[in-house]
Amino acid sequence: MKKRENYRNHDFRPITCFDSEINTKEVGKSGIRIEAEYNSMLKSGQLLYNNLDKISSKYGFEFCVVDMKEIEKRINSEFDLAQEMPIDVGLALSNAEKAHLYSIKLQKNRIQWIAGRYAVKSALFKYKLLSGSFMDLSCIDILKGADSAPYIPQYPNITVSITHSFPYCIGIVSERKIGVDIENIFMPDDSLIQYFYTDNEKAVLKDKCCLKDYSEKAVIFWTRKEAVSKLLKLGMQLNFKKLDTSSDSIFLNYENGINVKLISFCCDCFCASLAVEIF
């Protein structure tokens, strides 16, 4: 893939989590102080971006990380009075997507759904821009198939994967089979480990003496299983107990067989994993 351009020069500017807010404060007689608010969430978002950016060219995908807090803020403050829809959201959504948005009742679900469309369309915009192609993103549909996996009917050869863990949403597009998952790092119950993890995975966890290392590795295995299920478009129909993700390279005896690379990284309190078809 070609080296990335500066996408901020183009018309479509997705809502991402890397525009750190700069606050100006008047501090007594010292005048104006400029203060960058790099909290832990912003740091996690930047780390997510950096890790994905390092491997995107090698494994043939484009991505976008969206800050759902920013989506929520815009939903609450920026409305097109004629259409009763956030202005920024309306610019990127197709007519079919707008119609579906009105049917989503819960605010949390609306935010996640909008973030997923923003993330995927931003990734698609960058992916096509590398080949010199431009598009009207409001003419692109991100739909959910019978298997519940997202897809783009206008680009049937492109695979789509979306994942959420507040406040982040990641959207990925590729011409390879691919899946992505992100989770907040947590300490899993023993029952979850016993029911969903393989013997090899349990053995790896048993060697982890530190609780932090244990929880991180356990969540890495979980996100890998989720990513593989998305790659195969099987969801929870996949038997996690039989899927061993303790190795970074696995062979899936599915259809004609698929060689898959598993890539994982932890960013502060989040863990993300990708499952990518390799040839």
125 contacts 115 by C-beta, under 8 angstroms: no
Task: Give per-residue pLDDT as tens, 200-258.
Answer: 999 999 999 899 999 999 999 999 999 999 999 998 789 999 999 999 999 999 888 99
Give mean pLDDT, residues 10-37: 37
Q: In terms of pTM, does the model score above 0.85?
A: no
Which residue ranges form the domains of the chain, and what is each CATH number?
1-28+35-175 (3.90.470.20), 176-279 (3.90.470.20)
Q: Of the given ranges (29-33, 102-106, 117-121, 236-240), which has the lowest mean pLDDT?
A: 29-33
Amino acid sitting at position 189: D
Torsion of CA 193, 195, 200, 203, to 10 degrees: 40
pLDDT at 207: 93
Separation CA 50–CA 217 (nearest Å): 21
1 has a pLDDT exceeding 70:
no
| Longest Cα separation, the chain | 72
Distance CA 197, CA 205 (A): 10
Q: Is the pLDDT at 7 greater than 50, yes or no? A: no
Is the pLDDT at 97 greater than 50? The verdict is: yes
Please give the pLDDT value at position 45: 87
pLDDT-based confidence at residue 198 (cuts at 50, 70, 90)? very high
State the DSSP string of 228-274.
HHHHTT-GGGS-GGG---SSSEEEE-STT-EEEEEEEEEETTEEEEE
